[in-house]
Structure 1
Amino acid sequence: MAPSPKQATLTAGRLPRQLWQLTLPTIGGMFAITIFNITDTFFVSRLGTEALAAMGFTFPVIMCVGSFAMGISMGAGSVLARALGRGDHHLMQRTATDGIFLSIVMVAVISVAGWFTIDPLFTLLGASPTELPMVRQYMRIWYAGAIAVMMPPVSDSCMRATGDMIRPLIVMIVCALLNVILDPIMIYGLLGCPKLGIAGAAYATIFSRLVGMITTLSFLHFHARLLDLHRPQWHEILASWKRILAMGIPHATTYLSVPICRGLLTRVAATAGGTAGVAAFAAGTRIESFLFIIGMAISIALMPIVAQSWGAKRYKRVNLARCYANKLALRYGIISWIACLFLSKLAATVFSDESQVIQWTTLYLWIITFGHAGLHVCNWTSAQLNAIGKAKSATLISLTGNLGLVVPFACLGQYLYGYTGMLYGICLGQLLAGAVSAYLGKRLLRPPASLSQETAH
């Protein structure tokens, strides 16, 4: 008997309740991934400074490759959720299947190119002759197993698009737990395993991700029924890839802009405060990242609600989601700021015992978190625009916020008032980015002109 097609479940009902039902599992999954990354860094750090530095050189390259995976996953999820809203089950299956196929093709190209450019690329990035052999060990293994890293985000995004946040959470928890178990065994040579050093960290990452890949593909096929294993027509595949990449390329650009923005701000911090300024900025950024987990989870949860509602032509519900998200951004921003007023100094002492670094880290959290409401409005508006297929507008908003407002105001603040001025500049840039995003979101999230007379749902 053929499986019954998935039905859109997020086009009606109490929106705040649905949003939090989707957000909470996503928070758990993001904590699991955070633990995954911290575990690798912690165990490799015990091998010595050179091993830790070698692993540090791999981060920007892995982040760049990850941006392509995020782009494909975002594109596939947006297209699939809107198809679900319209009740087009065939398009849903083709999008999920062809999105995974696209990730395989991209991995093949990236892995081959990466394998043959390890030495020149990482030498250019600054790896020393003693660090380069360790980088080579890690990246050869990573490139060989990159499919296990790039495919799961695509299948997880397809499941989230249907409103299923629990199974992606299970996948991330499985990956994190396996990595925690395998890292010390493979790195240090425990339980009869040979001591592999930094290569062990790569093997642990790939093996745990491989188990996650098998798990998520099983969920996608046997539970969601979104894999079409029939022989496809090439014109269907190419049409799917075009739809996915139309969303994915702009999103990958947005994803890449974040580390670029952080790199520029780090340079400004170095100019303003030297080594202590960079240390305080780095510590503040790490502490701030925990506050962003909830914000990012809400952003991910908004997408299937808005996309399904848009696909079902429930435009009033899309507007309701936009208004609720803007109010929630203000409330969460205020809560984050108040929490930092009381806890920032305690958090700063975890990262340093130097008085200047502690003082500037505390100041960072006091000032910059005041602008978080604006940053959340910017990020969540961008997510909603991606959900309805307006990826270029979403990218424009994100780039304007990060590179067009935050960085210039940080530079101006640093020029006028040094380190403190830089922090106020970042805060002001975030608030202005939120105001611009709120205005543009109201205009761009309107229904098509021909359907503006839609009846209320």
Structure 2
Amino acid sequence: MPRPALSAFRAARTVPPTPAREIARIAVPVSMEFVLMLVLNFVNQIVVGGLGATAIAAVGFSNSLTFILAVTLGCLGTSVSILVARAHGAGRRDALDHTVTAALLVALVLGAVVSVVPWFFADHLMGLVGASPSVAAAGTDYFRLTVLATLPVMLSAILSGVLRSAGRPTSPMIATMVTVVANSMIAYSLVVGLGPLPSLGVAGAGWATLVTAVAKALILLAMTFRRGGVVGWSLPDTALQWRAVVVPLFVLALPLGVTELFWTVGTFLYNVVFQQLGDAALAAAQIVTTLEGVFVVGSIGLMSATTTLVGRSVGRGDVADATAWVRRLTRAGIGTAAVFGVLFAASVLLLDVLFGEAGRDVRVMAGVGILINAAFQVVKVRNMIVGAGVLPSANDVRGVIIGDVVGAFVVGLPLAVLLGLHTPLGYVGIFVARIVEELAKLAIFSWRARRIRWESLVTQRSDVAAAA
């Protein structure tokens, strides 16, 4: 290559990326990763759907229980990703290594406890929390296996957050691609009994989930700690270093865990209300939730981009840059939500093909739920970006808790019981109640976001760094 052309090529490579490209570099791989994960759940639901509406309801009800554990404990991943982004932005490799190492040790202990204890009580737990006898009988073995996957899922959440915040957002996507393909193959083989393999029914999907969750955690560990990787295994040496790492970790993680607990319990209680209308209504709700997830996570990468880009700006002490990223990401969320909302609504046309064995009543109820939720996709995505990205990045986890508690337990669930069980609206009333919940959360999250004082946060970060 001639010298002038070579110089121009090198100069082009050193030009900082535009804000849109920087957002896309983080958000697109994350969104693709989560889309793959939910496509995996969707494929499993189709495979299990061949066993009938009760099997769909059993898998959905079991997943809503394990979802509480996985998402609540996954708050460590969010907390670590914010702290790693700040350390990465400030160029503090020692703080990065100490934070990740301490978080993984905490996750090992917590994950072991919350995986084993529910396993012992699986026989009675589903019935105690509201599942019908038929749903409990079909889903107990599946629940046992998926609850054991909580530990590797926790580790994967932490390691994925670390890799994204440290500038390697495609690595978790690669690990997910490998395990999604493996999961689909294993699930189909064990559910239907392909070749010499036994036909395990619903439990076959549980075995596939457990095996691939362990495999993904091992792949991410190798990506994170390999030679020349983004992190080195390093425990803090002094009590002061331990305090500088553990206190910020739990200051973020504990409130985030509380808000995730409220959110997931609220989601589970909606399933309990649907169950009161019968197995068909519960099955329809699970179809809507799974399909909606596939399209909502098309925008979820913007949430990770928020914690990463805003966190780096806070770590550098650049208030103007942090607020600029918030504006850009919020606008991007509106655009992606509108597109994916239309695609979500169009998925109604596929219900007869994908869930022919579930029954016409189930498909009709699912179609109504899809159309209602698709109309408010923009609201849900904005809540995701502000409530799970902007507010935690500004250390305003209290605002997230207020929004989730008021939205679900003061507004949404009481309205769902009233409209769903005491009016002719039935299942339509429950879907409407969930939309009203999202509107209440939108009002609260927007109010809290306007109260953020980024200057105070940057000053606080500087004081903590100096003390460390």
* Normalised-by-shorter TM-score class: 0.7 to 0.9
Which of 359, 372, 388 is residue 377 of structure 2 equivalent to?
Answer: 372
Percent identity (aligned): 19
Look up the SS of the partner of 1:294 in the other structure.
Answer: coil
Give, in whole Å, the separation in 1 of the partners of 2:55 and 2:418.
38
Give, in whole Å, the separation in 1 of the partners of 2:284 and 2:54.
23
* 1:448 is the counterpart of 2:453: no
Give, in whole Å, the separation in 1 of the partners of 2:164 and 2:231.
12
* 1:312 is the counterpart of 2:320: no
Letter of the 2:261 counterpart: L
Q: What is the match of residue 393 of structure 2?
A: 387
Look up the SS of the partner of 1:295 in the other structure.
Answer: coil
The structural deviation recorded for 1:194 is: 5.4
Superposed CA RMSD in Å reads 4.1
Q: What is the match of residue 159 of structure 1?
A: 163
Q: What is the match of residue 71 of structure 2?
A: 67
Which of 175, 181, 184 is residue 180 of structure 1 equivalent to?
Answer: 184
For the Cα contact (< 8 Å) 1:334–1:370, is it kept in 2? no
Q: What is the match of residue 349 of structure 2?
A: 346
The 1:140–1:432 alpha-carbon spacing in structure 2 relative to 1, beyond 3 Å, is closer
For the Cα contact (< 8 Å) 1:78–1:388, is it kept in 2? no
The 1:57–1:325 alpha-carbon spacing in structure 2 relative to 1, beyond 3 Å, is closer
The structural deviation recorded for 1:295 is: 2.5
Give, in whole Å, the separation in 1 of the partners of 2:41 and 2:405.
26
Look up the SS of the partner of 1:447 in the other structure.
Answer: helix
Q: What TM-score does the superposition give when structure 2 sets the normalisation length?
A: 0.77
The 1:364–1:315 alpha-carbon spacing in structure 2 relative to 1, beyond 3 Å, is same
In the comparison of the two structures, how many residue pairs are matched? 440
Write the mapping of 1:38-437 to structure 2, written as runs, cut at 5 A: 38-45=42-49, 55-125=59-129, 137-138=141-142, 141-142=145-146, 146-187=150-191, 190=194, 192-193=196-197, 198-222=202-226, 223-229=228-234, 236-237=241-242, 240-263=245-268, 265=270, 283-336=287-340, 343=346, 346=349, 364-382=369-387, 383-407=389-413, 418=425, 427=435, 430-431=438-439, 433-437=441-445
For the Cα contact (< 8 Å) 1:405–1:432, is it kept in 2? yes
For the Cα contact (< 8 Å) 1:141–1:202, is it kept in 2? yes
- Any idea what the Cα deviations from partners look like across 1:201-250, whole Å, max 9, x if unmatched? 44332222222122101111125331325685677556534432322232
For the Cα contact (< 8 Å) 1:333–1:371, is it kept in 2? no
For the Cα contact (< 8 Å) 2:48–2:56, is it kept in 1? yes
Letter of the 2:334 counterpart: L
For the Cα contact (< 8 Å) 1:284–1:348, is it kept in 2? no
Give, in whole Å, the separation in 2 of the partners of 1:308 and 1:406.
35
For the Cα contact (< 8 Å) 1:36–1:175, is it kept in 2? no
- Any idea what the Cα deviations from partners look like across 1:248-272, whole Å, max 9, x if unmatched? 232233333344444555677789x
- Any idea what the Cα deviations from partners look like across 1:256-300, whole Å, max 9, x if unmatched? 3344444555677789x9888767655544443333112222212
The 1:363–1:64 alpha-carbon spacing in structure 2 relative to 1, beyond 3 Å, is closer
Give, in whole Å, the separation in 1 of the partners of 2:280 and 2:122.
33
The 1:400–1:308 alpha-carbon spacing in structure 2 relative to 1, beyond 3 Å, is farther
Which one is further off, 212-221 or 245-254?
245-254
The 1:178–1:278 alpha-carbon spacing in structure 2 relative to 1, beyond 3 Å, is closer
For the Cα contact (< 8 Å) 2:77–2:154, is it kept in 1? no
Alignment gaps of 5+ in structure 1: 1-11, 453-457
The 1:178–1:309 alpha-carbon spacing in structure 2 relative to 1, beyond 3 Å, is same
For the Cα contact (< 8 Å) 2:54–2:279, is it kept in 1? no
- Any idea what the Cα deviations from partners look like across 1:349-394, whole Å, max 9, x if unmatched? 5558988877766655555444333332222112122123332333
Which one is further off, 297-306 or 260-269?
260-269
Q: What TM-score does the superposition give when structure 1 sets the normalisation length?
A: 0.79
